[in-house]
Structure 1
Amino acid sequence: MKILIFVSLLFSFFFCQFSYSQNQGGMSDKRKAVKYIAELKSHSSKEKIQAAEELARLDDRGAVRPLIGLLEDKDFNVRQTVAYALGELGDKQAAKPLLARMEKENPNGKVIFIRALGKVGDSSVVDSLLPLLKHNNSSVVFETVQALGRFDDPVVSEAFLSSLKSQDEYGCMAIVNVLTNNRIKKAEKAFLDLTKDKRRPSCALVAVDGLGWVGGEEAVGALIMILKKNDSSSFKNRALRSLGRLRAREAFDAIHPFLRHKEAVIRRSAVEALVGLGDHRAIPMIKGLQGDPSPEVQKTVQYALRQFGVKQESSIQKDE
């Protein structure tokens, strides 16, 4: 009897513990947020940093004001973590305090504040961020470009285009990528100029790629000239891909010779470009690559033929 009572009590204990933990689970995020907000007042920098990180993860908007209060903390790492957390929470009331503190930070410190401002997404900070495109620190410029790129604002696009010539390669590539991702058609002329830029070859290469998204008739002609005259395989590869994206049928005669190129990556891009053009004259040429030594090219050929609606024999039919 005593054993039975003991077992019953033991079962009841574990059942209660389980029920308590389940209830805790239902309330845990809110309770944790309250706990971590309280820990922001700690004298320990380590505790404040951990609390800010957890509040960012919990996505509790009630933490915004307490976090703003720590932007002037004397500890650099605390300020950085708080800026990160405010960026993750994305509440616009944090924009002005973040901007005010960012202006006091050294270049390394500015970076995470700029990133946070971009994530918060308050357009009122645009005018204050634009001058940072001329900053002498590459990381500051890069983060500024990323942050400004989040705003659908013609003023930002114009500022990007105006600053392209003065940027180092790092900043130039960042701007080209953002203009491309945002599909800014006005960037075509600037990208065309960049394709000839000998000082910043990596940016020139990114511009060739960008023309496939923002280019028009003029871009098609320039890309064909790259295929004909540029000795770089990287440039040829990007030009092929861009012509395919532009569906430039007038480029057919310039593209199909690259199906026989010595480099597999070029042959593959040529196949993809011809698929983009949608010109059925390419079908027999692409079929000629079915025995290509590169498995990747063979996969692309199979994909291309499917896109053109060509029925392919199964392995069983081939054996027969």
Structure 2
Amino acid sequence: MRHVFISYCHEDADFVHVLEDQLKQASFAVWKDRELRAGDDWHAEIESAIRLASAVILVLSETALTSEYVNFEWAFAAGAGVPILPLLLKIKADRLHPRLRALQFLDFSNYMLRPWDELTRSLKVLANVERQLTMAVPRDAPRFIQKAAQELDSPNADERIAAIEMLAENHDPSVLEILAEASKHPAPDVRDRAAEALAEVQDLRALPAIMDAIRYKRWDRLNVSTLAKLGDAAVPNLVTMLRDPAQGVHVRRCIAMALEDLRNNEAVNALHELLKSPEGELRIQAVKSLAGEPRALPWILEALQDKDTDWAAIKALQKYRGPEVVAALVEGLKNPELSIRQAAVGVLKEVPDANAIPALMEALRDEDNVVSWDACAAIEKVIDSSTIPALFQVLEQIPNTYTGGNINTRDKIIDLLVGFKGEIVLNGLLALLKHPDVSFRGRAAYALGELGDQAALLALHLALKDPDERVRSRVARAIGMLKDASAVPDLIAISQNEGEFHGVREAAANALASIGTREARIAHKDWQRYDKER
């Protein structure tokens, strides 16, 4: 059975609550807006509910007479051929619109004498009136199609969906005609599923329903990717809508997104035109949709000069190669806007180029960790021995930002150097082990352990006497990594030296455990007993 639609203004909500209870007691299904008016697509929802109703009960009060929503609802119902039953609340019939005065109405102004029985009888008569199906189905259509067409008008959403799913999964050619009709159905769930099925076979009759779903942001079934499924045949229609400002920014942006997947000559030319749109959002989308198109590189380089599109243009360069691309990214690394520098170095990290090394070296000094760390990652992909001296030079020029245990840019560069290995790295780290800055000495000591080169042992032995306890601790750990058995006597002496800092003694004991000779293991156990008892 179809539902009864109640049209009212919220000032009359108390009466409508009573009305709804009365209708449900009489076994009528009821539909009312329940605050849908605040949503983006309330028109579509309400239109569908009105079309599927057996009748519209129009609750008319002084406020309702001037309500934009109430007037829209009864006018739409009249246009759709849905019976309207006005209920008067403390107003006279002569106040009604002429079209409403011509209808049978019921006066509910006197709360003691409200004609509930008459209302129920009227609704039962209307419910039994045979209304024409929303969809026109040929008389000779198979029985299952006729039955499905009837169920598409069901007030029960599950029944409607089951019917349209059955039609969508049927491969009979005649079903396409039914789906084309269903794509115009008043119920959004029916037309969306019908349009989805039509799009799968690139039937352009799906286009109006898809655009309707996009316009009202009904993303459950239909979206930009569904639009792209229509193929090249849809491009002329899409380009026409893209060029029409009346379509609005949201719709035109979605069309531009779809054209990214339908990038034939006509689509590319239309997206090029969109780069000149006064709407920044549309210019940005045009850049994104053109990214990777060979003809579009000059346009994207030009978009770097537009404050609205510069970030999108930088990101788009990831899909290109060549000296002009590297030059543009290098310029991006010098941009005062942090977001641009981050985007440029992010692209160079993914598409590394040795010609960008000088600019990346400079980016290592950037105050923003994202920029400096990504610059380090980009350099790592193109590093060679000629780059190492410059890296050590930059390393000494970067301020120490090591706080609270967080990795800083210095650490990133040293990790990169350790990964490269080689004699040139070893010599550079040995030089840092004598640096006046304690943070350099400590980090260099640990890096020498990570490097794993036994040639560092002599310098590390000497560094066990460094004046700073943090350096001595890291030196001990490095010797442990290198498993230097010759250092065992010195490490035992440090672990047993009560005048030494606890952290240094613990590091020496752990190094003994790593070295693992019999003498070293015994000394480590002695340390564990001492540490437990203290």
Q: Equivalents in 1 of 2:314, 2:340: separation in Å?
A: 8
Q: Equivalents in 1 of 2:351, 2:339: separation in Å?
A: 18
Q: Does residue 1:149 correspond to 2:291, yes or no?
A: yes
Q: Which residue does the alignment assign to 1:47? A: 190
TM-score normalized by the length of structure 2: 0.41
Pick aligned residue for 2:327 from 189, 198, 203: 189
* Residue 203 (structure 1) shift: 0.8
Q: Equivalents in 2 of 1:278, 1:130: separation in Å?
A: 49
Aligned residues: 261
Pick aligned residue for 1:231 from 356, 363, 367: 367
Q: Equivalents in 2 of 1:75, 1:317: separation in Å?
A: 64
Q: Which residue does the alignment assign to 2:216? A: 77
Question: SS at the partner of 1:68?
Answer: helix
Q: Equivalents in 1 of 2:215, 2:419: separation in Å?
A: 51
Q: Which residue does the alignment assign to 1:221? A: 358
Q: Equivalents in 2 of 1:272, 1:79: separation in Å?
A: 49
Amino acid at match of 2:207: I
Q: Which residue does the alignment assign to 1:176? A: 314
Change (3 A) 1:274 1:74: closer
* Residue 156 (structure 1) shift: 0.3
Question: SS at the partner of 2:372?
Answer: helix
Q: Does residue 1:161 correspond to 2:301, yes or no?
A: yes
Deviation per residue, 1:203-257 (Å, 9 max, x gap): 1221123234556454211221232x43333322121111112235433234454
Q: Which residue does the alignment assign to 2:235? A: 95
Question: SS at the partner of 2:313?
Answer: helix
Map 1:1-320 to 2 at 5 A. 28=169, 30=171, 34=176, 36-53=179-196, 60-61=200-201, 63-68=202-207, 70=209, 76-77=215-216, 84=224, 86-89=226-229, 91-104=231-244, 105-151=247-293, 153=294, 155-168=295-308, 171-198=309-336, 200-212=337-349, 216-227=353-364, 229-255=365-391, 257=395, 262=402, 263-264=406-407, 266=409, 269-270=412-413, 273-274=416-417, 281-282=424-425, 286=447, 288=449
Change (3 A) 1:47 1:318: farther
Deviation per residue, 1:118-175 (Å, 9 max, x gap): 1123232212211322434343223212211142x2x30011101211233xx22211
Change (3 A) 1:119 1:156: same
Q: Which residue does the alignment assign to 1:306? A: none
Question: SS at the partner of 1:246?
Answer: coil
Q: Equivalents in 2 of 1:269, 1:183: separation in Å?
A: 27
Q: Equivalents in 2 of 1:122, 1:269: separation in Å?
A: 45
Aligned residues with identical type, % of pairs: 16
Amino acid at match of 1:111: R
Question: SS at the partner of 2:275?
Answer: helix
Moved more, 245-254 or 232-241: 245-254
Change (3 A) 1:234 1:192: same
CA RMSD of aligned residues (A): 4.1
Contact 1:177 1:206 in 2 (8 A): yes
* Residue 114 (structure 1) shift: 0.5
Deviation per residue, 1:11-62 (Å, 9 max, x gap): xxxxxxxxxxxxx99x947479857544213233443234334656xxx22x
Q: Equivalents in 1 of 2:412, 2:311: separation in Å?
A: 22
Q: Equivalents in 1 of 2:423, 2:448: separation in Å?
A: 12
Bigger relative contact order, structure 1 or 2 (CA pairs below 8 A, ≥6 apart): 1
Q: Equivalents in 1 of 2:225, 2:317: separation in Å?
A: 28
Question: SS at the partner of 1:165?
Answer: coil
Contact 1:48 1:78 in 2 (8 A): no
Structure 1: give runs of 5+ residues left out of the alignment. 1-23, 291-315
Q: Equivalents in 2 of 1:38, 1:279: separation in Å?
A: 73
Q: Equivalents in 2 of 1:87, 1:72: separation in Å?
A: 8
Q: Equivalents in 1 of 2:213, 2:360: separation in Å?
A: 54
Amino acid at match of 2:370: S
Q: Equivalents in 2 of 1:201, 1:121: separation in Å?
A: 32
* Residue 202 (structure 1) shift: 0.7
More helix by share: 1
Q: Equivalents in 1 of 2:419, 2:303: separation in Å?
A: 33
